Amino acid sequence: MSTASIFPFPVLSRLSKWCKVIKATTPLYAVIGDPIAHSLSPLMQNWFIQHFGLDAVYVAFRVCPTELKNAVQGMRALGIQGMNVTVPHKEAVTAWTDEYSSEVTLLGAANTLKNVDGKISAFVTDPYGFIESLSENSARFNQADVLLFGAGGAARSVCYALSRLSVNRIILHDIDDQKTESLLRLCRTNLGLTKTVALKSIADDMNDIIAATPIVINATAIGMHPQENQSVIENVRTINKGHFFYDLIYNPAKTRFLRMAEKAGAVVQSGLDMLIFQGLQSMRIWTGEELKLNHASMQELRTLLTHFLGNHE
| Residues annotated as catalytic (active site), given as ranges | 90
Quick count: other Cβ atoms within 10 Å of Cβ 27?
18
Give, in degrees to the nearest 5, the angle at Cα 172 between 170 and 177: 150
Could you give the CA distance from residue 22 to residue 15 in angstroms, rounded to a whole number? 16
Residue type (1 letter), 27: P
**CA distances (Å), 187 to each of 172, 192, 201, in order?**
10, 6, 19
Residues 6+ apart with CB under 8 A from 41: 31, 58, 60, 84, 86, 279
Could you give the CA distance from residue 237 to residue 210 in angstroms, rounded to a whole number? 9
Residues 6+ apart with CB under 8 A from 9: none
Cβ–Cβ under 8 Å, residues 90 and 103: no
Could you give the CA distance from residue 29 to residue 12 in angstroms, rounded to a whole number? 23
